[in-house]
Amino acid sequence: MADPEALAEEARRADALRRTVDVACALLRQARLPRDEAESVVAFTRSRVLELFPGKDDVFELVLRPRFTRILDEFAAPPRARVLPFRTR
């Protein structure tokens, strides 16, 4: 039989994972961030997920990376163009 404290801890971490991913997805959909900034949000979310569940890189890549990729492709603004100023003579 599983330890009730261990089960409660697992449930807490799973809830934190769900909330973290939900907030990141909402931010990416609503903020219309430039692609590089949106990718930074995904990278931060990945690091937080791996803090909660160490060693689960492969699960992130298999389950969450495709979800984030779809959101980025649909909602992220194109990268900001770097415009050089005109030279005055």
- Report pLDDT digits (tens) over 3-52: 999 999 999 999 999 999 999 999 999 998 999 999 999 999 999 999 99
The structure's pTM equals: 0.81
Q: What pairs with residue 34 in β-bridges? A: 77
